[in-house]
Amino acid sequence: MSFQDKLENITQDKNTLLCVGLDSDFDRLPQFIKNFENPQFEFNKAIINTTHDLVCAYKLNSAFYEASGDWGIKQLKMTCDYLKSAHPQIPIILDAKRGDIGSTNEGYVKYAYDYLNVDAITLNPYLGSEALKPFLDIGDRGCFILCKTSNPGSGELQNEMVGQEALYRVVARKVSSEWNKLGNCFLVVGATYPQELTEIRSIVHNMTLLVPGVGVQGADAQKMVEAGVNSKNRGIIIHAARSIIFAIGDETFAKKAREVAAHLRDQFNIYRGTKLLDQLQKSEKPKEEDKKTEQSKQDTSSGQQSTTQSSGQSQQSPQGQQNQQQGDQAQQPKPEDKVIKPPLPSWGNLKNPIWGKKPNDPSQQNESAPKDQEPNPLDVKTEAKGILSDAFKALKGK
């Protein structure tokens, strides 16, 4: 199964856009955890056990494990192995930002895909597609290519003009139109730059984006969701790490991590549900105006016809008027000829256009999403209502 299919399935099943970052900085681990033989792994395992039903992916930043040498790499490997064993449906993203000449990248490929067995990796585009070819040629693994990063200094190079457009726009265009031959390319775009996120979305269309910057980095989550989701109301992996895993530093860290993760997931769902409803209202407004215009024309036409008929009837003889009345009665539809329109289906019976299945239908949980299916407005409203309902229920129950 490809990375994209794996992501589509879990986003559908769990109704979530949240990615938890297992950036387990040893210095920030709770003191009691440091007493374990493999503290980073034990910390990660506890976080995974309390959040696995809330996420669409986990992202592990290799730097926090490399800092501890072979001991840290061992725990990174243990974490990946645990996820593959306990939760194989959850994609693993290795945040390593690799990018070197081809032969060096072949070593990185073996480390990431053969040794750690991750599903995707972050890559640096600076050396060009030729250098990244060892990654790009593996169709079932994801390549998340840096485009517009979330750090404050990203504009120093990424906003430099290349011809008539900024470098980040050039990267977005090249990756989406030239590098993505196997459908395994994605972009990293910071949530801290919603305007640039909007621009990039318009360039890459429905391509999936990894969006860091929510939480400690202070991005506006609502602006990020509204700018980032694609035409199918998904297409973003929203990453949060420190705000979740280090929410509290005592024995209750895993429980607190779940609370924060659930809150973020619900907030993201509310924002995308609200956007769906807003889109629906905007799409219905022109239709309502067209109906009013058409009705006005019909009323004007009916009025003119009525005046003409009245004038004609006043000039008819009694016999002619009687024949006219009989003709009118003959044109009236008989009761058995009337077309009875069926009632609109209830919310629960409507199909979900985004996934091609009924909401919460367990019989179709493993179906992958259709590629380019146009949503029905009623169905779009159904999905928005479902997202909002689920999110508000979850918030109310806390």
Residues classed as catalytic = 97
Interatomic CA distance for residues 194 and 236, integer angstroms: 13
Q: List the beta bridge partners of residue 59.
A: 21, 93
Distance CA 4, CA 374 (A): 20
Helix (H/G/I), strand (E/B), else coil: 298: helix
Using CA atoms, how far apart are residues 145 and 16, in angstroms rounded to an integer?
A: 22
Sign of the dihedral through C-alpha 196, 200, 201, 207 = negative
94: three-class secondary structure by DSSP = strand
CA–CA dist 149, 365 (Å, integer): 34
Cα 254 to Cα 267: distance, rounded to the nearest angstrom: 20
Lookup: tokens for 315: 């000039």
Alpha-helical regions (H) of 87-165: 102-109, 129-136, 155-158
**Cβ atoms within 10 Å of 42's Cβ, excluding its own:** 20
| Distance, CA of 194 to chain centre | 15
The answer to whether residues 53 and 301 touch, using CB atoms and an 8 Å cutoff, is no
For residue 385, the surrounding DSSP H or E stretch is helix 377-396
Name which of 127, 130, 396 is nearest 270 in CA terms. Answer: 396
Distance of CA 391 to the CA centre of its chain: 15
Q: Which residues of 314-333 are buried (b: 16+ CB within 10 A; e: fewer)?
A: eeeeeeeeeeeeeeeeeeee
> Which residue pairs from 342-345 have beta carbons closer than 8 angstroms and sit at least 24 positions apart in sequence?
344/378
- Which tokens hold the place of 199? 């621009």
Contact of 61 with 21, CB cutoff 8 Å? yes
